[in-house]
Amino acid sequence: MILLLAIVVGSLYAGGLYMIMRRVLIKLIIGLALLAHASNLLIFTASGLIRGRAALVPAGGSLDFRQVADPLPQALALTAIVIGFGVLAFALALVQRTYQVVGSDDLDQIRSTDT
């Protein structure tokens, strides 16, 4: 399972980097989204997958550490989701404003308007 997730994370990073290097701004946004999803999966893959176990020990209870899921990767993934959403919203606003000013989403035409 870990090998499959490593392949998925690698392909998401590769696809995201490929999309970022394209000439169209919308593909840049899609690439940023792929990179955000890849980083979330990387956090979960690196921490190890534990299914069906509690993240917190109940009050007054005693559990072995092998029976408790680590809450830190869950908190890191939640933070990565929020940051990724903020970056995507900001990038979408920039792309929309650039399209309004320049009238194109091709990066070569945007570079030709610089003086």
CA angle 34, 40, 46 (to 5 degrees): 125
Residue 59 covered by a domain: no
* Residues 72, 36 contacting (CB under 8 angstroms): no
Residue 103 lies in a domain: yes
CB atoms closer than 10 angstroms to residue 48: 10
At 6-51, the pLDDT tens digits run 999 999 999 999 999 988 889 999 999 999 999 999 998 888 766 6
Counted domains in the chain: 1
pLDDT at 114 over 60: no
Distance CA 47, CA 104 (A): 43
Per cent of the chain over pLDDT 90 is 43
CA distance 66 to 101: 57
When the pLDDT of each residue in the chain is averaged and rounded to a whole number, the result is 84
Helix, strand counts (H, E) of the chain? 4, 0
* CATH code at position 71: 1.10.287.3510
pLDDT value, residue 106: 83
Structural domain includes residue 58: no
- pLDDT band of residue 104 (cuts 50, 70, 90) is confident
